[in-house]
A and B are shown apart, each in its own frame.
Chain A
Amino acid sequence: MSIIANPGNRDRLWRSSVIALPYLWLGLFFLAPFAIVFKISLAEPLIAQPPFSPLWGIAEDGTRKLLATLDNYLFLLEDKLYWVSYLKSIKIALISTLLCLLLGFPMAYAIARTPQPWRNLLLLLVILPFWTSFLLRVYAWIIMLGKEGLINNGLLGIGIINEPISLLYTDVAVYIGIVYTYLPFMILPLYTTLEKLDLDLHDAAADLGGKPLHVFRDITLPMAMPGIIAGSLLVFIPALGEFVIPALLGGLDSLMIGRTLYDEFFMNRDWPLASAVATILLFILILPIMLFQRLQQEPQQ
C-alpha cells in the first residue's frame, strides 16, 4: 500500500499513534479487565474493602504463596440455582431469537419489496425505536402487561378471558420484552441481504413453474443466510446476558444469569462468586462472539 511506502519519522509516528492510541485504550479498559475478573473469580470472599482475598500471600517461611482457589467454580457446579439460571438464559435467548426471526423475516422481506420512497420511511420506522431510550421502552410494557393494562382489558373486552391473567412478572413478559427490544437488530441485517436479492431470479424460478415454497427454500433462504446468522447473533448474544428486561418484567423466579450475577454482586456482595459467574458466561459466549467477529470482518476482505 502506498501509505506505508512513505517512510520518514513523522509519518511513522503518525501511523503508530493511529494504531497505538485506540489499541492501548481498548487493551487497558476492555481486555485487561477480563484478566482481573478471572483473577478475582479465584479469590475467597472476605468482609473487607475490597471484599475478596488477595491472590498472593506470604507463607510461613516468608516466600510468596499462591492463594488461588477453585471453590467458587465448584460451588457453581454444586448449587442447582446457577445451573438452572444458565440453562434458562440459554433457553430464553434461543426462543427469543427464533421469535425475532419469525417476525423479523417477513417484515424485512416486505420492506425490501416496497418501492421508494416508502421503503426508506419504513426503514426509518424500524430504526427509530433504537434511538429512543431502551429502558423507557421496556418500562412501557409494564403499563401494557399489568393486571389492568391494555392487553388484559382488550382480552376481557372481546371476551377471550373472563378475568385478568397474569402477564407482568412472568416469563411471557420477558419474551415479549426481549423480542420487542431486539427486533430492529434482526430486521436490519436481514433487510441488507434481502435488498440485494435478485428479484429476476425469483421471477425466473416462478415462471419456470417453481412452487413458491420451493423457490423460498432453494433460493431466498440460502441467499439470506448471512443476514439470518448476523441478525440471530445480534439478538442471541446480548439477550443471553440481559439484565434490565428480566429485572423489570420478569418474576422473582425468572432468574436469568445476568440478573443472578447482578444480585450476587450488589445484594450478596460476593464479588468472587459474581466473577466466576461472569467468567463462565463469557466462556459460553466465546464461540458466538468469534462467529460474529468473523462476519463483521468479511465485507472488508
Chain B
Amino acid sequence: MKRSPTFLYSMLAFGFAFLYIPIFVMMLYSFNDSRLVTVWGGFTTRWYTALLENEQILEAALLSLEIAVTSATLATVLGTLAGLAMNRMGQFRGRTVFSGMIAAPLVMPEVITGLSLLLLFISLQELTGWPASRGANTVTIAHTTFAMAYVAVVVQSRLASMDQSLEEAAMDLGGRPFNVTWDITLPLIIPAMASGWLLAFTLSLDDLVIASFTSGAGASTLPMVIFSKVKLGVTPEVNALATLVIAIVSLGVLIAGWNILKKQRSAHG
C-alpha cells in the first residue's frame, strides 16, 4: 500500500476504538460502587454478588441455556442436511425455492420472523391442538429454524471448497451414498459443523425479538429479562452480567482463534 497509509490506519484505529470503548466502559462500571454513571464510588464486587443472588436472572439464564443447546443441536443436524442437499445432491425439484429458504432467514428482520412464527403456532394450535402451550418448546423451534440457515451456509461453503476426489473415488469403487457421506464427507466437515453449532448456540442465547413473540407466559429467556431491566436505563447488575458474558465469550473465541492459527501455521510448515 503506497498511498496514505496514515489515513487508513487512523480509520482502523478509530473503528476499533468505536467497537471496543463502550464494552470496556461497561466492564469498568460493573466494578463501580456508585449507582450513578458519572461518579466513581470506588471499587466493588457487590453487583456480582447481587447478580448471583438474583433468582429471576439465574432462572432465565438456565432456560436460555437449555433452549440454546437444544436448538443448536437440532439446527446442526438439519443445517448439515441442508448443506449436503445444496452441494452434494445435484439437481432436484424445488431447488430454487430451497436455496431461497436457506438464504432468506439470514437477513429476515426479526420482527417478521417472530410475528409469523407466533401466528403459525396459534393457527396450528387451533387446527391440531399442538403446541398446547407456548414456552421453551416453541422458542426452541423458532431458534432452530433461523439458526439452521446459518449452519447450512457454513457447511455449504466448506463442502464447496472441499476437494471431492476422495468422495468420487469411494463412489466409483462402489461405495453406497450413505456410507460415503458418513465415512468420508462427515469427518471432513466436522469442524464446519462445530462452528455452525457454536454460531447457532450464540444466536439463540442472544435472541430477544423472536423469543418475545414465540414464548408464552412465565417463560422468560435471559435477553427478555435483560431487556425489561435496561429499558429503564443503566442497571449495575446488568453491567456485571455483561462483563461475565463478554469475558467468557472472548476467552473462548481467542482460544479457538489461537488454535486455528497454530494449526494453519503447522500445516504450512
Which residues of A pack against B, CB within 8 Å?
1-4, 6, 8, 10-11, 14-15, 17-19, 21-23, 25-34, 36-37, 40, 50, 103-104, 106-107, 109-111, 113, 117, 120, 122, 124-129, 131-137, 139-144, 146, 148-150, 153, 180, 183-184, 199, 202-203, 206, 212, 233-234, 237-238, 240-244, 247-248, 258, 261-262, 265-266, 271, 274-275, 278, 281-282, 285, 288-290, 292-293, 296-297, 299-300
Contacts and interface: CB of A to CB of B under 8 A. Distances in A.
23 contacts: A3-B90, A4-B90, A11-B177, A15-B177, A22-B98, A26-B145, A31-B101, A36-B120, A131-B249, A131-B252, A132-B250, A136-B26, A143-B22, A143-B29, A233-B107, A234-B107, A238-B107, A241-B108, A244-B227, A261-B111, A275-B115, A285-B109, A297-B99
A146 B230 CA distance: 13
A180 B99 contact: no
Nearest to B126: A50
B145 A29 contact: yes
Nearest to B38: A148
Given A131-B253, A203-B2, 19 more contacts: A3-B89, A21-B78, A22-B79, A22-B82, A22-B85, A23-B101, A29-B145, A110-B12, A120-B261, A134-B206, A139-B238, A140-B25, A183-B15, A183-B19, A248-B230, A293-B99, A293-B103, A297-B103, A299-B157
A27 B102 CA distance: 11
A111 B1 CA distance: 11
Contacts of B157: 299
| Most chain A CB within a 10 A radius of its CB, from B92, B104, B156 | B104
Nearest to B239: A143
Contacts of B36: 148
B236 to A, nearest CB: 10
A11 B179 CA distance: 10
A167 B69 CA distance: 38
Interface in B1-51: 1-5, 7-9, 11-12, 14-16, 18-23, 25-26, 29, 36-38
Given A15-B177, A110-B9, A136-B242, A143 B101 contact: no
A19 B209 contact: no
A34 B116 contact: yes
Contacts of A1: 90
A5 to B, nearest CB: 8
Interface in B233-261: 233-234, 238-239, 241-242, 245-246, 249-250, 252-254, 257, 261
B72 interface: no
A292 B102 CA distance: 11
Interface in B82-132: 82, 84-90, 92, 94, 97-112, 115-117, 119-120, 122-123, 126
A contact patch SS: helix
A10 B261 CA distance: 41
Given A22-B81, A110-B9, A300-B87, A275 B119 contact: yes
Nearest to A5: B171
A99 B198 CA distance: 30
Contact of A136 (B99, B101, B212, B246): B246
A257 to B, nearest CB: 8
Interface in B151-191: 152-153, 156-157, 160, 168, 171-172, 176-178, 181
| Most chain A CB within a 10 A radius of its CB, from B15, B212, B249, B252 | B15
Contact of B160 (A21, A141, A261, A299): A299
B223 interface: yes
B192 interface: no
Given A109-B8, A293-B104, A18 B89 contact: yes
Sort A-B residue pairs by CB-CB distance and give the 9 closest, nearest first.
Answer: A241-B109, A33-B116, A106-B11, A22-B82, A140-B22, A148-B38, A293-B103, A110-B8, A136-B242
A132 B230 contact: no
B111 A241 contact: yes
B68 to A, nearest CB: 12
Contacts of B149: 26
A112 to B, nearest CB: 9
B57 interface: no
A282 B152 CA distance: 23
Contact of B111 (A23, A149, A180, A262): A262
B8 to A, nearest CB: 4
B11 to A, nearest CB: 4
Contacts of A4: 90
A6 B171 contact: yes
B136 interface: no
A293 B100 CA distance: 6
Contact of B2 (A33, A131, A206): A206
Contact of A50 (B122, B206, B227): B122
